[in-house]
Chains A and B, each alone.
Chain A
């Protein structure tokens, strides 16, 4: 492989890596927007009661 070909392959790899990183960032952000509300909601009282009751038994 000539030096020029190697350069071209490296450039393509770098570009793909950049694309992957950008998608990864976008994906993480999107998943947070979809799921963060769930983690912030208060735990249902009934569930906490079940856990407490088991603890006391």
Chain B
């Protein structure tokens, strides 16, 4: 039984790391959060009822730990952390800028909406599982994902107030892409066919 418990913890670590990064938006803080959550889970092992949803139990422990830490200290968001990681991705330049926009937009979502969106869209959790993992009603879980998706769509399609900083940043990035593409086309020798 003990082996199963520890094996389950190790198996779920990748998902916990994603959830932690979704909540903290900072790599170092997310690693600390996962470690603290695992320690809490090990200490609270007796409260887990075998046969119930282990993943939901672990996600809930991590989330509670995050909230508890948040209450103790005002967490400062480091939105530069997320786009920085993109530099190592294999996506092409234009893709990277679009994903960078997405990184900025995600950072602006409320924590619970960002977490819900990532657990459902990226990790494939059902609304029922999300509700169990975050300790809310299924309707609330659905609503969080829906609002996050709608908000992101509005931001990413430019439906923002004129004085919005994100829009200005996104717009500057798009202009940079355009400029670089034009510069690239101008530098490329024209090839005549025939």
Contacts and interface: CB of A to CB of B under 8 A. Distances in A.
A31 B122 contact: yes
B39 interface: yes
Contacts of A31: 102, 117-118, 121-122
Interface in A3-35: 23-24, 26-28, 30-35
Contact of A47 (B13, B27, B103, B152): B13
Given A30-B98, A30-B102, A39 B18 contact: yes
Contacts of B2: 55
B178 interface: no
A34 B10 contact: no
Q: How large is the interface on B (under 10, 10 to 19, 20 to 34, 35 or more residues)?
A: 35 or more
Nearest to B3: A55
Contacts of A24: 121, 149
Given A33-B89, A35-B118, A50-B39, 14 more contacts: A23-B149, A23-B153, A24-B149, A26-B98, A27-B121, A27-B152, A31-B102, A31-B117, A33-B99, A38-B21, A38-B30, A52-B6, A54-B6, A54-B42
A47 B14 CA distance: 12
B14 A39 contact: yes
A39 B17 contact: yes
B170 interface: no
Given A37-B85, A55-B6, A44 B99 contact: no
Contacts of B106: 34
B86 A33 contact: yes
Contacts of B95: 33
A52 B149 CA distance: 40
